[in-house]
């Protein structure tokens, strides 16, 4: 290379040296400023301004980087990336759960199985005797607990929990094997040993704050009386032991929040009690049979879980129902205080279920028909407890937002009536109607008492109307049912006018429809012997009046209009039946058909004219429209049907009569046309 050419590499090194010199100068200035700041003396003079950095610009010839050839692009310099990057939180959590928890649990289970297989192999080959086998099991369990303690102190908490569970499991197996496999120890000693293991497991669970170990200890504790059972019944040993486990489970739920332990105690205790009841219960053992569920209920009342408390209440009631079946006096002596306790604990739904389900268990037992007055008064007392408590405790805002209150309220009413009805029928049928009227009166009074809570007052009114509607056909017969239903419809419509809700109006309309339907289907077909002065006409007239009065009270207007039209239809049918019946009784046989046709048309036309006149007098458009519809129907019938079926005399009478009525109707419209135009306009 020629000597006068500048070496590019050397020039670049010189430029880097200059940059380093500038950086060193800046560091010296920064140190000087820091020293001045740290001095407690007077404020130092401001430092001289930093010299502006000299930009390094390569010479065009020597230092410039050659551009890439035409058609090529410079490759980007790879950015520096660290060797490892943090994993996303979800993946890290999954990795910890899999690698730390599940692998530990699976590993413990696998290790237990492996040791069990090896132990079985050693036993099959008679390497070790029974005492040595039990001793090795106890030593292995204790060794696992010691190792777990050291691991826990070393900070390996999750791993130590698995080893602790392994040690507790081995100790359970060893204690059981001493009695169950080899009969080396009496059952009492094995029982005490397994109880001791349960206590150690519970203590370790509290020490390590480990809910899984607590659950494992409870499982072992509840299995202990089952696996060591000799078939001999000892309820006063079994039940206190179960209550001790239950109390421990409730305590750890309150102290540590371990819900799994409490639920395990609830279901395990219920299952063991059910098995004992199935195999060992008899009338002489009622005391322990009631002692356990009631004491367990008291313990579960301290649970922070409302669901547990409610299930415990219902479970206690069911137990009482089975224990005192079919003795009604003892049954209600236990159920009524239990229901009161549930109500005071603000568990109305549980109190209702805990009362009615046990009673139905009693009712389905053989010999349940005995003790009529005891059962009737007992279910009345239970109903009164629950019903009265709801009326007393309910707040207005609670009734509006809590639909379960209304559900329990209605279910309690239905359960009371159904249970009482089953007692009364069929031997005491004469009392059933009076009892149903009593139920209607009770809920009518409840509607007034709950008037500050509109949803509950409305529900009480619905129940009262339902019981009253049901009581009428039970207590009465024949035409009195239709009369009573019409009267009830008017009463319900009046009460409905006091509510803003529309449901009572529809209930009144339903009762009214029920009465009219019975009139049309049954009462209208009754045979009579006199004109207008008979039961049929009275019943139909009463039904028509019920429709008209209800129409004045019902809402919406369409419902009121339907009731009003139904009243006119009922009255028109009553008049037609009376006229046609009179013709059949008095006319000659050959003239009955023609006379009936003419009479029907004339009555319909006369009723239409009366409606038009009524509409003019009342300024009621609906009456006038109904009258015109009736007149038009008669005209169509006369010209399309009657003219072809009547003889000359009857045809002439029909045309003359109809013509006179039509002229009268037109006169009414002509006479009052100005007022009608004003009303219509």
Confidence at 115, pLDDT banded by 50, 70, 90: low
Cα end-to-end distance, the chain, whole Å:
120
Q: Do residues 424 and 437 touch, judged by C-beta distance below 8 A? A: no
Q: Do residues 144 and 170 touch, judged by C-beta distance below 8 A? A: yes
Confidence at 73, pLDDT banded by 50, 70, 90: very low
Long-range contact list for 420-424, CB < 8 A, 24+ apart? Answer: 420/376, 420/379, 420/380, 422/363, 423/372, 423/375, 423/376, 423/379
Per-residue confidence (pLDDT) for residue 456, from 0 to 100:
85
Report which of residues 78 and 493 the model is more confident about. 493
Across 113-122, 240-249, 595-604, the highest mean pLDDT is recorded for 240-249
Confidence at 646, pLDDT banded by 50, 70, 90: low
Ordered by start, the domain boundaries in the chain are 98-229, 231-375, 587-681
Confidence at 643, pLDDT banded by 50, 70, 90: low
Per-residue confidence (pLDDT) for residue 380, from 0 to 100:
96
Confidence at 124, pLDDT banded by 50, 70, 90: low
Confidence at 654, pLDDT banded by 50, 70, 90: low
Percent helix, percent strand, percent coil in the chain, to nearest 5: 80, 0, 20
**Which are the contacts of 530, defined by CB distance < 8 A and separation ≥ 6?**
none
Per-residue confidence (pLDDT) for residue 96, from 0 to 100:
52
50-59: per-residue pLDDT in tens? Answer: 444 444 444 4
**Total residue count of the chain as it appears in this document:** 681
Q: What percent of the chain has pLDDT above 70?
A: 78
Q: With 0.85 as the threshold, say if the pTM is over it.
A: no
The C-alpha atoms of residue 296 and residue 249 are separated, in whole angstroms, by 11
177-197: per-residue pLDDT in tens? Answer: 888 777 888 888 989 999 999
> How much is the average pLDDT of 214-242?
92
Per-residue confidence (pLDDT) for residue 128, from 0 to 100:
60
Say whether pLDDT at 619 is over 90.
no
Per-residue confidence (pLDDT) for residue 481, from 0 to 100:
93
Per-residue confidence (pLDDT) for residue 370, from 0 to 100:
67
380-407: per-residue pLDDT in tens? Answer: 999 999 999 998 886 655 544 567 888 9
Confidence at 513, pLDDT banded by 50, 70, 90: very high
566-610: per-residue pLDDT in tens? Answer: 999 999 999 999 999 998 988 888 888 888 888 888 888 889 888
Task: Tell me the average pLDDT of the chain.
Answer: 82
Nearest 5°: the CA angle 13, 19, 25 is 140
Confidence at 69, pLDDT banded by 50, 70, 90: very low
Q: CB-based burial of residue 1 (10 Å sphere; 0-12 exposed, 13-18 middle, 19+ buried)?
A: exposed
b (16+ CB within 10 A) / e for 209-222: ebbbbbbbbbbbbb
> How much is the average pLDDT of 456-475?
91
Per-residue confidence (pLDDT) for residue 618, from 0 to 100:
85
> How much is the average pLDDT of 312-327?
92
> How much is the average pLDDT of 535-562?
94
């Amino acid at each position: 290379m020629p000597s006068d050419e500048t070496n590019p590499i050397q020039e670049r090194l010189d430029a880097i040296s200059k940059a380093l010199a500038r950086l060193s100068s800046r560091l010296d200035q920064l140190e000087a400023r820091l020293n001045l700041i740290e001095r407690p003396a007077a404020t130092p003079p401001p430092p001289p301004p930093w010299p502006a950095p000299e930009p390094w610009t390569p010479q065009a010839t020597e230092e410039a980087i050659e551009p890439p050839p035409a058609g090529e692009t410079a490759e980007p310099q790879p950015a520096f990336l660290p060797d490892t990057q943090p994993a996303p939180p979800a993946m890290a959590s999954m990795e910890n759960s899999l690698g730390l928890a599940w692998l530990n649990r699976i590993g413990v289970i696998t290790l237990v199985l492996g040791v069990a297989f090896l132990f079985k192999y050693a036993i099959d080959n008679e390497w070790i005797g029974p005492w040595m086998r039990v001793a090795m099991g106890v030593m292995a369990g204790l060794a696992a607990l010691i190792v777990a303690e050291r691991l826990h102190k070393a900070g390996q908490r999750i791993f130590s929990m698995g080893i602790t569970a392994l040690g507790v499991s081995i100790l359970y197996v060893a204690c059981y094997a001493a009695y169950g496999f080899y009969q080396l120890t009496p059952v009492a000693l094995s029982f005490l040993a397994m109880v001791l293991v349960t206590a150690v497991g519970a203590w370790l669970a509290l020490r390590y704050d480990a809910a899984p170990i607590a659950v494992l200890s409870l499982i072992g504790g509840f299995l202990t009386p089952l696996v060591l059972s000799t078939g001999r019944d000892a309820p006063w040993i079994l039940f206190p032991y179960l209550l001790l486990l239950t109390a421990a489970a409730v305590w750890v739920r309150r102290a540590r929040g371990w819900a799994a332990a409490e639920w395990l105690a609830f279901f395990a205790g219920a299952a063991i009690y059910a098995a004992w009841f199935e195999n060992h219960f008899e009338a002489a053992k009622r005391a322990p049979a009631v002692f356990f569920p009631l004491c367990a209920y008291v313990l579960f009342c301290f649970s922070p879980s409302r669901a547990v408390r409610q299930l415990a209440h219902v479970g206690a009631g069911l137990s009482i129902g089975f224990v005192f079946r079919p003795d009604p006096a003892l049954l209600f002596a236990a159920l009524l205080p239990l229901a009161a306790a549930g109500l005071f604990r603000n568990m109305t739904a549980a109190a209702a279920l805990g009362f009615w389900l046990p009673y139905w268990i009693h009712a389905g037992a053989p010999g349940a028909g005995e003790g009529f007055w005891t059962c009737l008064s007992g279910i009345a007392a239970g109903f009164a407890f629950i019903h009265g408590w709801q009326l007393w405790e309910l707040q207005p805002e609670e009734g509006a937002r809590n639909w379960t209150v209304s559900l329990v309220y209605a279910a309690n009413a239905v359960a009371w009536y159904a249970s009482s009805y089953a007692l009364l029928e069929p031997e005491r049928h004469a009392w059933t109607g009076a009892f149903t009227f009593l139920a209607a009166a009770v809920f009518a009074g409840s509607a007034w008492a709950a008037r500050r809570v509109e949803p509950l007052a409305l529900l009480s009114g619905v129940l009262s109307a339902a019981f009253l509607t049901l009581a009428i056909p039970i207590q009465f017969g024949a035409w009195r049912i239709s009369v009573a239903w019409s009267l009830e419809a008017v009463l319900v419509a009046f009460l409905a006018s006091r509510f803003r809700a529309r449901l009572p109006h529809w209930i009144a309309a339903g009762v009214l429809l029920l009465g009219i339907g019975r009139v049309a289907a049954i009462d209208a077909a009754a045979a009579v012997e006199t004109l207008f002065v008979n039961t049929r006409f009275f019943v139909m007239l009463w039904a028509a009046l019920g429709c008209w009065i209800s129409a004045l009270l019902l809402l919406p207007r369409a419902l009121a209009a339907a009731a009003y039209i139904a009243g006119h239809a009922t009255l028109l049918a009553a008049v037609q039946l009376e006229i046609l019946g009179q013709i059949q009784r008095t006319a000659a046989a050959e003239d009955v058909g023609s006379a009936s046709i003419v009479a029907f048309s004339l009555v319909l036309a006369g009723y239409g004219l009366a409606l038009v006149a009524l509409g003019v007098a009342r300024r009621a458009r609906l009456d006038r429209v109904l009258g015109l519809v009736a007149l038009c129907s008669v005209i169509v019938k006369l010209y399309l049907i009657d003219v072809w079926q009547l003889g000359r005399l009857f045809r002439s009478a029909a045309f003359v009569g109809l013509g006179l009525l039509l002229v009268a109707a037109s006169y009414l419209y002509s006479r009052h046309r100005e007022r009608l135009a004003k009303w219509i306009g």
